[in-house]
Amino acid sequence: MSTRFPIRFDWKDLELILALAETGSIAGAAERNHMVASAVSKRLSDLEQQFGAALVERHARGVRLTPAGEALRARAGHLLDEAHRLQGELRDYASGVTGHVRLFTNISAIVEFLPRALAAFHQIYPGIRVELQEQVSADVAEAVRAGVADLGIVSELPHMPDLAFTPFRQDELQLVVPAGHPLATREQLCFSEALGYPLVGLHTNSTLHGRLTREAAQAGHELRPLVQVTSFDAVCAMVAAGLGVGVVPRGATTPYVQSLGLIGLTLNDDWAQRQLCLCTRANAVGSPAMQMLFAHLRGTSEAAT
């Protein structure tokens, strides 16, 4: 059993640590927090005495955080964000909202599947507010694991023993090329056949970039995108501009493909059929509101099959 010590600091102390890190001075932190410099110094001294460690080093131009101060700063931002979220959720309850769910998901699910599903959920449960945030799949899983997100939607992640994955929807990837491209007359092909042409890709941290990198390596190529962007619509725009070919989800990009006059080609690779999954903490029950949203999304998934 871990030993619990009484907490003798408050939110203002955490705000001061962040202000000291950002301004680099006692006076700057005092001004930002509408305090006098002597009050900031007193709070800082009290904190250092409680922790038994120096939090700042003073120098000619102001102050800098010590390793202990940096550790506190790193946690302070997260704690304050959580406190603000909690405050907002409690105010929601006061105004008649009966639940709050933080749903993190990749862009494919947001564009293809969630608009109708969430609209229907709101009709059934108007008192539950869903806070939706877009992240790459790896970050979604980490947010669920850390409790920052209540529920997530991800694609192709390795097994994680502390998370549970429930099939949600299938997501088909396609290759998009501009009209007149040498591949434009093809209806279907393997991704390896496109590796001889310039590629427009997503940013390095995206799940899809990782998949394409692995597939290129297996085909004896190094994936070196000519351009890397942060969204699928941007991929389509760059392809339309003649900067290369791109791999995008069919359902999420059909409007862009059609409006830009691009050609969508079927990829014969098995991995082009991606499984999107609902992601939750393993063996965690979750709030009633989260359970309702999970059941609703799972139900819409089963209805679509």
CA dihedral 289, 292, 294, 297 (to 10 degrees): -130
Other C-beta atoms closer than 10 Å to the C-beta of 292 total: 18
Q: How far apart are CA 256 and CA 79, in angstroms?
A: 40
Q: Is the pLDDT of residue 33 over 90?
A: no
- The structural domains of the chain, ordered by start, are 11-90 (1.10.10.10), 98-169+275-304 (3.40.190.10), 172-274 (3.40.190.10)
| pLDDT at residue 271, as a whole number | 93
Per-residue tokens: 278: 């609902």
CA distance 23 to 31: 10
Kindly report each contact of residues 51-58 with a partner whose C-beta sits within 8 Å and lies 24 or more positions away, as own/partner: 55/17, 56/20
pLDDT in tens, 46-88: 888 888 888 888 887 888 888 888 888 888 777 777 777 667 6
How high is the mean pLDDT of the chain?
87
Predicted pLDDT of residue 243: 95
Q: Which sign, positive or negative, has the C-alpha torsion 17, 22, 23, 28?
A: negative
